[in-house]
Each structure stands twice: as structure tokens, then as C-alpha cells.
A and B are shown apart, each in its own frame.
Chain A
Amino acid sequence: MLAPSYATPREKLSYFVFALFCALVFLFLIGPILVIMPLSFSSEPWFTYPLPGLSLRWYIDFFTDERWRIALQNSGIVALFATLIATGLGTLAALGLSRGNVPFAGLILSILISPMIVPVVIVAVAMFFGFAAVGLNNTYLGLILAHAILGTPFVVITVTATLTGFDRTLTRAAASLGASPWTAFRTITLPLIAPGVTSGALFAFVTSWDEVVVALFLASPDQRTLPRQMFSGIREQISPTITAAATLLVFFAALLMLTLELLRRRSERLRGTGG
């Protein structure tokens, strides 16, 4: 941000202070992440600056070590299915709650988003005992369901927000033109609320992807996810492979965000409403 040429010295100073403040906020937010990244390219197994030398050995280790490979695979499977369940259920809940004829809609909404508010340790302990009763502990299904519960609130919130701007006469128009409720939903409602659904799905995916507490309680070594592997990696033998994993995860998340933003812009452009 540059001060315009007609700005007085006083205005220029305030612009400068403002820009500096913004830069500091950014540094505070992403500084810790940036510090980790160079360490993953270190040639020696110590976490020290300056780097003793550059190498890709920790990345090779990450992709070849059996434990990391399984953890990556587990994280992928759990996050994928948890996202599908959370997105489906969350979208349906948001659609139902926004119809305006649901009794106790406010109460239902607060219950649905409570996993986001209740401390995750409490949720994890509750799930541990609850799932033990039905034999879901130490299973993929148990972990997937638990992560789906944690991800659903994000979908409910983002889809509800999108629905407030959705014109309901469009579904009426579709019905008057001969579309069954399901066709109208598939061809009109869903494409128009897609930005909310996809960003909700993204949040649900990321929630599962970096979730460690519930995984510690519910998962056996067979269902060990990436965050869980990193967590035990730090406690048992501290290895820079963790920094390689962290760097990859950051890039993966950034890529996901970027893709979604591009998709969102494209759909807005197609709709002719984008600026």
C-alpha cells in the first residue's frame, strides 16, 4: 500500500505506520511456520541455525519410511471420508434449518455446532467412552465418524451463511417449470450454494487432517494419522522428518486454499456477478 502523491507528510507517516503494523501482524501469524521450513532442508539431525548444510534426506525419509507412509495414507482416508460425511450431513442440516418452519431451530443449531465450542479433550474423552460401548474404538469407522462430527459445524455455518443470500423464489420457479424437488435441488440450489459447500468441506477436511487429540484417544497404531505420528515422533525420537512433514502439510493446505479460491472466482464469473 502506497500513499497517494497528494498526501501530506502527516498522512504519509500514518500510511507508513499502518503498513508497518500490518507487516508485524503477518509476521506474528506466519513467522513460526516460516522458521520451521528451512530446517527441513538441513543436512544434519539438529534443529539449529545457521544450517550446517542443505539436503533432501528428511523428505526422502518421509516418503520411504513405512510409518510415515502409513500415517499419510491413514490421514488421507480418514480425512476424505470424514469430509464426505460432514459435508453431506452439514449441508442437509443447514438446508433444513434455513427453511424457517423448524421448531427450536436456534437450539438445534447450537447443538450441531457444539463440537466446535466444547474443548476438544472433553469431546475426545466422551467419544472414547461412547464409542467403547459400541465397539468403535481402534477402528477406521470410529475415527472417521469422530472427525465427521468435528467437521460438521464448519459445513453448517458456511452453508447457512450462503443460504441467507439465496433467493428461494428460484426453487419455486424451478418447480413451476416442472422440476421435481430433487431435480430443483441438483440443478438450481446446489450449484448456487456450491461456494459455501466447498469452503465448508475444505474446513472439515483440514479439521480432520490436523486433528491430534481425538486421534490419540480413539486410534490404535493401525489408524495412526499424520498429526498423531508427528506427535509421537516428537516425544520418542526427535527427527527433522517432522519438519519435512510439516512443510509438505503447509504447502498442501496452501494449494487447497488456492484451488478453491480459483474455483470460486470461476463460478462467480460464470454467473456474471463477479467484479
Chain B
Amino acid sequence: MKLPVSASESFVEFAGVQKSYDGEVLVVKDLSLRIRRGEFLTMLGPSGSGKTTTLMMLAGFETPTSGDIMLDGARIDSLPPEKRNIGMVFQNYALFPHMSVAQNVGYPLKVRGLPKAEIAERVAKALDMVHLGSFAARMPGQLSGGQQQRVALARALVFEPKLVLMDEPLGALDKQLREHMQMEIRHLHERLGITVVYVTHDQSEALTMSDRVAVFNAGIIQQVAPPAELYESPANSFVAQFIGENNRLPGRIEAANGTLCSVVLANGDVVTATLTDAARVGEDCLLSIRPERVKIAPPGGPLDNHFEAVVAEMIYLGDHVRVRCVLDSGADVVVKVGNVEDRPVFAVGSRIPLGWRAQDCRALDAA
């Protein structure tokens, strides 16, 4: 687990930033976030969670209602976007339709008054970087979506900005191209050492690309963590639910013993779980278990929890089979079974033994 970013390491900092469009409803509530130099940070969240507004405040297209935004040690709240030297890739690419690919990529250099020869040289280099060297004379309308996206990328990088912002840049591409571009952007980031702030609502995109992910909901950052930590140790039930698949068992925490706690389910069954900061002893909670961490195993093994469940449904998905079971407490539990040669076959309606470790089962807030 990475330690929190200290003030001296921070390249971009939001300090107590609030944003309201109408003076009543806060779209972004008390946002504090530090981003390291060279980091790839993704803002992830459902639509309306405040992630795009946060990005727009960083770009300078929205002003915070209160709070400070710092870039490289200087306050930028009152700096207009054109003075911030931040590259931006927009969702719909925002290429200038009346300019050729080369003119588009050369635009930021031209408005900076660079000599023609240098512009031509740097444009050629930027286009080579995104494998579009031979497309310089084309108009944007003559390019495919993926090619347009690369032009937008080259244009945002050609003036060597300190920071590059990307607002769902791959949203309009089909799945295969999107995965390809994810890797390409990731490699560009590694090669150029730039700081990237990326906005998406696609959790797999966030997990694949980022150094750290900030999960937004209702204008509040729910958790900022590297992808593995986000998946393995979600801080609250929103994050657990939003990132990956998740089994949810409602219960009440009866007692705690160090990091472990006993949770009583609706029918009186007791589960041993990991206690988190999101839940308190004596209160209702939601247990969260990833489907691949639930085992089909009879009691007596190394697992901390053992229960019987009725098989309700089997869904074949090629590389794995999802078995939906119902516990005696009435809660659904989905189990992922790998499609190996000796995979057990169950009849719907039969009772099977399930088990899981206490450390894979986290007691989170009941929200």
C-alpha cells in the first residue's frame, strides 16, 4: 500500500474545493486530493458524481465556489485555461474540422508563436509517436474514430504540457479498439513521464490504466487507492459495489476482536469477518465478499466460515461458471468456479457446502 502523498511530493493539489452551479446544491463537496508528479490518476464514478466537474476546474473551464487548486506549487484558481499549460483530450476529440491533421497538431505551437520549421518538425515527431506519420495532410473528417483520438492525443502532448487531462477519451470507441488505446495511452505515459488525470465511468479501464484511482460518488471522493487495494480492500460498500463484482450479506456486528468481528445474519448464523472503519460494533453492516473468494468446500478445512446453500442457478461463461446460491439467511451468494477439467457439476436445488476466509469478507457500512 502506498503512503498518502505528502505536501512536498504533490504536483496537483485540491484543498477543500467545493463547487455549486446554482448556489444551493454542491456538485463537488469538500474535495481534497494530492497527485504526484508523473502519476496516472483516474477519477472514476457514475455520471453526476462530480468527476468531470473536478476535471473542468483543473482545466480552468469551471471556477471552484471555494477552496484552492495548486499546480506545481502555484495557485491556479484564477488563471484562465490558456495560461495553465495543461493538455486536454476531450470525449468527442474536439478536432478542428476545418484544419488538416498537421494544422490541428501544430495549433498549440502556432499560437505560442514558434517558428514554422520547428512547428513542422515537432508535429512530425508527435504524429510519428501516435503512428499517424502518413496522415498529416488528411482532414479530421476523413479519419476513423481511433485515428481521430490519436490526433487529439498528439495535439495535447505536442506542446509538452506539465499535465494532461483526459475526459473519457475512449468512450466512443468499440471494445477492441478501446483496449488497444488503453495500452497505448499507458505506454505513452510511461515513456514521456507526464502526469495524467483521467476521467472515466468504466471501472475496468480505471483498473487497467491507473497508478491510483479516486472513486467519486455524490460529489465526494469515496476512496483513493491503487487498483489492487481498491479491489481487495474497498473502504465502503459503495466502492465494493462499484468496483468489480461483489456478494453482499446484510447483518449486525455483535462483537469485535482486534481486526476481526462476528456478524449475525438474519437467521442467526454467525460470520467471522474483517472489521473496517466503515462499520461499528453494535450496528447494522453489509458484508462484502468477491465471488472468486467463495469456495465450495466442506467444513474442516482452513476456511474461517462454513455454510450450506441451495444452488439456484448455474451460468456458463466459457472460462468460468457462475453458481448462484441462496444461504439459509435468504441472501444470494454468487460463486465463481473456474472451468477446469474436474470442475464439479451441481443440480439446481441441491445443497452444497460453501466457505470463505475472514480476511476476504469485509464488514462495511450498511448504506
Which residue numbers of A lie inside 8 Å of B, CB to CB? Answer: 167, 169-170, 172-181, 183-184, 187-188, 191-192, 267, 270-273
Contact = CB atoms under 8 A, between A and B. Distances in A.
Contacts of B98: 191-192, 267, 270-271
Contacts of A179: 82, 107, 111
A270 B139 contact: yes
A192 B95 CA distance: 12
Nearest to B84: A176
Interface string B155-168: 11001000001000
Contacts of B97: 192, 271-273
Main SS at interface, chain A: helix
Given A192-B98, A267-B98, A273-B141, A169 B92 contact: yes
Contacts of B92: 167, 169
B268 interface: no
A169 B155 CA distance: 15
Nearest to A172: B61
A214 B228 CA distance: 77
Contacts, number: 78
B86 interface: yes
A176 B139 contact: no
Nearest to B103: A187
B81 interface: yes
B227 interface: no
B88 A178 contact: no
Interface of B: 59-61, 80-82, 84-88, 90, 92, 94-98, 107-108, 111-112, 139-142, 155-156, 159, 165
A270 B137 CA distance: 12
Given A172-B81, A176-B88, A271-B98, 8 more contacts: A176-B60, A176-B156, A178-B82, A178-B108, A179-B82, A267-B98, A271-B141, A272-B140
Contacts of B159: 177-178
Nearest to A274: B141
Smallest CB-CB A-B distances: 4 pairs: A272-B141, A272-B139, A173-B94, A177-B108
B80 A176 contact: no
23 contacts: A170-B94, A172-B61, A172-B81, A173-B90, A174-B107, A175-B60, A176-B88, A177-B159, A178-B108, A178-B112, A178-B159, A179-B82, A179-B107, A180-B111, A183-B111, A187-B111, A191-B98, A270-B139, A271-B97, A271-B98, A272-B97, A272-B141, A273-B141
Contact of B111 (A167, A170, A178): A178
Contacts of A170: 94, 96
Q: Interface centre among A167, A177, A179, A270, by most B CB within 10 Å? A: A177
B114 to A, nearest CB: 11
Nearest to A188: B96
B96 A176 contact: no
Given A169-B94, A183-B111, A176 B141 contact: no
